Structure 1
C-alpha cells in the first residue's frame, strides 16, 4: 500500500479528495440547508478537486453561527428587549398610524415589531447624505460636537486619507474625555497595528469583529459585520452604505462612487444604538454589558418622520431584512424602485418581484454596468433575461460604481441601509437598514433616483438576448456560485 501511494501519489491524493468530498457532500445535504446553496457546495466539492474542499472549509461551515446563537441570544433577551420595550408602539398609537395615508404598510410595521421587537418610532428627523463627501462632512461635524460618547461600527475601516482623518479625530476626542468605542470587521478592514495601538493609547476602546487567519485570502469569509453605523451621545445616528475608505470619497478619486447614507435624530437612534451595544457585547466577550443611563437619553421630537430599524444576521432565527422587504414588495400598488450594487435574489424575492410586475406595479432596477466584482457582475446579469421578460425595467449605471442600497415603494416608504439585494446580505452577513415611512422623504429619494437615471443606459430585452455567447456562459457559471458571492 505504501509503495502504491509513493508511486501513484497524485492518484492517491485524488482518491483521498473524493473520499473527503463525498463525505462532506453527504454532511452538507444532511444539514437540510438552503437548496440552492447546498447544490452549489455539492457541485463544487465533486467537480473541483481540492478547491471545492477549501471553499467549503472557508465558507460553508456553520460552527460560527452556532457559536453566535449561544453568545448573543441571551443578551438580546436580557438587555436589548428591556430598552426597546419602552419604545414599542402601543395599540392606540398603532391604530392612529393605520388610519393614515400609509395604512397599506401596517403589515411591514407589524412584521418588524412582532418578529424582531423593533419599534416604530415617531418624531424623527432624517437627512439624506449623497456620496462620501457629504457623509464625512456631516459625520466629522457631529463627532467634533460629541459631549459624552462616540460609538462606531464599520465593515471597512481603511488606511487612506479619509481613514487617517477619522483616526485623528477619534484620538483627539478620546483625549478630550469623550468615551469612544469602535468595532471594525477583521476581514473587511485594513487597520494597521500601529493605528490600532495609537487609538488604544489615546483611550479609544477598539475591537475586531470575528478575527480570522489570513484575512486577505478570505475576503468573502462567512458571517461578516457588513454594517456601517455611528451613534453619538445617543441622540444622533448615521447609517447607510458608505464605508471608511478613500474610494467612497469622490473628491479624493478620479473615478466616481455613487452611494447614500443617512443622518438620523430622534427616538430611532435608540433602536440603532441597541444593535451596536449587542455587537459590542459580542466582540468584547463580556458576561454582562454595562449600559449607562445616557446611552438612551430622552429626546424631544426632531421632526415628523416615522421610522423603524431592522437588522439581520446569523445570530437571528430569520432573515428579518429580507422578510421586511418581501412584505413591502407584496404591499406595493404603484411602483418599486431598487438600487443595488449586486442583484442576486433568492427565489422568494425573485417571485415577489415578478408577481408584483404581473400585478401592474412599475418596477425599476438600477445597478452598476461595471461593478467591483467580476463574479457578482455576471451572476447579476444571469437574472436579467428572466426579469426583463416579466416587465421589470433595468438601468445600468454608467457614471461609476453604484453602491447605494435602497428600495422605494409607491413614493411613500423607503429602505436605506447596508443590505444588498443578494443572498449573502439576506442570509449570512450582519446587516442593518432604516425603514422610513414618510412621503416627503421618499419623494426626495425618488427625485435622486430619476436624476441618477440620466447617467444610466436602459437594458432592453431584445438587445440583451443578442449578447455574445461567451457572456452567457460566464453568467451561467457565475450563477452556480451566486449563494457564495
Structure 2
C-alpha cells in the first residue's frame, strides 16, 4: 500500500477512536437525544463538532459556584425548618403537597402563607411601581435583572436608586455580564449606578484566566427587586425600553408585552434569598443578616400561600423542568401556559400531549412573530403534535412579542416568574418562579390569559398542515439544534 493509503487508514482509525471516546464520555449523565446529537456532530464534522462541544457541551457551572449554591441552600434549609406549617395545606388539592416537597427538596425554600400579590401587565406601569417601592425603602434595596439599561423608559428606577442612596439606603444591583454587551449604554449604566452610590456587580462574568471558565452561553436570566425584605417584584420584564433598542425591532415596530408581580409577605424573604445567593456567588459577601429567618405570624386565611423555586446550572437538578412536568402531569381539569419561546424538553412535550389526550382543557399562548429566527422555527415544529392531542394554541398578534412567562393549573394553582418553556431556561439559565396556591390570584391570572385569548388568533390543525413547505423545512431543521446542549 502507498503512503497515502496508510495515511487514509490512520485518519479513519483516529476518527473511529474519537467517535468511540466521544460516545462513552458524552453519554454519561446526559439525555439520550442530546448525547446522540452531539455524537453525530462529532462524527460528521469532527473538528468543528469537538470545538463546539468543548465550548458549550458542559451545561453546569464550575464546581466552586455549585459549592456556593449548596452552601447557601443548606443555610436556608436550616433557617426555615418548620415553616411548612405556616401555610394552609388543608386547603390544597390532594396532589399539591408533593409539589411543595419537590420544590423544597430541590430549591431549599418552603411554601409560606400570609402573602398578597398584585399583577402588573403594563410595561411602563410596572417600572413606575418598582420605582415607587424603592422610594419608600428605609434600609436596603436589591435589584437583579438579566438586562439593565439606563434609558428613558427605565429612568424612574435609576432616579429612585439615586434618591435611596441619598437617604442612606444600601442599594445592591446585579445584571448579567454578557447580556449587557448586546445593548447600548452598558458602561454608562454601570457607571451611573456607582456614581449614585449603589454597589453594582456583573453576574456570571467570563474570566478564563482566573480559573472561572464556563460554558459562555450560560446566563443569569432572573428578574427581581426587593425592598427592605417586605416588598418584592418578580416576573418576565427586563429593565430596558420595550423594543430593546434593536434596529430591526424598531423597523418592524416590535415591542414586548410582559407580566410582573408585586408581592408582600413572607415569600419576599425567599425572593431575597435568591438575590443573596447570586450576590454571594459574585462577591463572596454573604448577606445573612438581611436574609435571615422568614417570620409568618398568625395565619390569615384570606391571604395566599407562595413558594419561590430557583433553578439553573448551579443546581444538580433541573428544578423548574421537574416542577413544570409534575404540575402538568397532576392537573385535573385545565392547564394554561404562556411562554414566548416554546422549545420544550421532551418530558414537557409528552406531559402536555398526554394532558390533551386525557381530555383536559389545555392551551398554550405564544407569539405570532419572534425576534429569534432559530427559536421561532424550532418551536413551531412542536405545534402539530400538540394540536393533534387537542391542545389549543393561540398566537398573539404582531407587532407584539408576548414575553410573559406563567402557568395556571386547574382553579387555584399558579406559577409566574422568569423561565421560558424552552431548553435554555429549563437547563442552561438561572431562573426563578413563584408557585402560588390561591383561588383569587389564579382568577386574576386567568383574566390576563382571557385578554391574551381575545387578542390572539387560534391555530387550527387543518390550516397548520397547509403552511408553506419552506416554513416546514425551516421548522424541522431548527428543531434539530435544540438538543445540542
TM-score higher than 0.5: yes
Equivalent residue for 1:72, pick from 69, 74, 86: 69
C-alpha distance 32-82 of structure 1, shift in aligned 2 (>3 A): closer
8 Å contact kept, 1:146–1:233: yes
Between stretches 442-451 and 231-240, larger displacement belongs to 442-451
Q: In the TM superposition, what are the counterparts of 1:224-243 in structure 2 within 5 Å?
A: 224-243=219-238
- Counterpart of 1:8? none
Distance 2:359 2:334 in 1: 9
- Cα root mean square deviation, aligned: 3.1
Q: 1:323 to 1:63 in 2, by over 3 A?
A: closer
TM-score (ref. length: structure 2) = 0.86
Contact 1:234 1:296 in 2 (8 A): no
How many residue pairs end up in the alignment? Answer: 463
Cα distance in structure 1, aligned partners of 2:142 and 2:17: 45
The answer to whether residue 183 in structure 2 is matched with residue 184 in structure 1 is no
Runs of 5+ in structure 1 lacking a partner?
Answer: 5-10, 215-219
Cα distance 1:244–1:54, how it changes in 2: closer, same or farther (>3 A)?
A: farther
The TM-score normalised by the length of structure 1 is: 0.86
Among residues 174, 182, 187, which one is paired with 1:193 in the alignment?
Answer: 187
Contact 1:65–1:314 under 8 Å retained in 2: no
Indicate the larger mover: 186-195 or 276-285: 186-195
Q: Deviations over 1:64-115 (max 9, x none)?
A: 34332233222322x32233336x213xx66xx3432634422222322344
Aligned to 2:339: 340
Q: Secondary structure at the match of 1:64?
A: coil
TM-superposed deviation, 1:384: 0.9
Report what 2:482 is aligned to: 482
Whether the aligned pair in 1 keeps the contact of 2:356 and 2:390 (CA below 8 Å) is yes
Shift of the 283–407 alpha-carbon distance from structure 1 to 2, 3 Å rule, reads same
CA 329–133 in structure 1, closer or farther in 2 if over 3 Å, else same: same
Cα displacement (A) at 1:28: 4.7
Residue deviations 1:27-65 (CA, integer Å, cap 9, x gap): 652534122222232333344465434433432235734
Q: Does 1:388 align with 2:390?
A: no
> 2:289 is matched with which residue?
292
Which residue of structure 1 lines up, in the alignment, with residue 55 of structure 2?
Answer: 58
Show CA shifts across 1:330-381 (max 9, x none).
Answer: 2211110111011111122122112211211110111011112110011101
CA shift in 2, pair 1:257/1:194, >3 Å:
closer
Name the residue aligned to 1:273. 272
User: What are the superposed Cα offsets for residues 424-483 of structure 1, whole Å, 9 maximum, x if unpaired?
Assistant: 111121110011111111111112211111221111111111122221111111111113
SS at match of 1:89: helix
**Partners of 1:156 and 1:185 within 8 A in 2:** yes
Q: Contact (CA 8 Å) 1:235, 1:299: kept in 2 or not?
A: no
Tell me the equivalent position of 1:84: 80
CA contact (8 A) 2:309 2:434 kept: yes
Any conservation in 2 of the 1:131–1:248 contact (CA below 8 Å)? no
* Structure 2: runs of 5 or more not aligned: 209-214
Instruction: Provide the rounded CA distance (Å) in 1 between the counterparts of 2:97 and 2:460.
Output: 36
| TM-superposed deviation, 1:18 | 6.5
Cα distance in 2 for residues equivalent to 1:473 and 1:46: 24
For residues 270 and 70 of structure 2, what CA distance do their matches in structure 1 show?
Answer: 17
Secondary structure of 1:366's match? Answer: strand
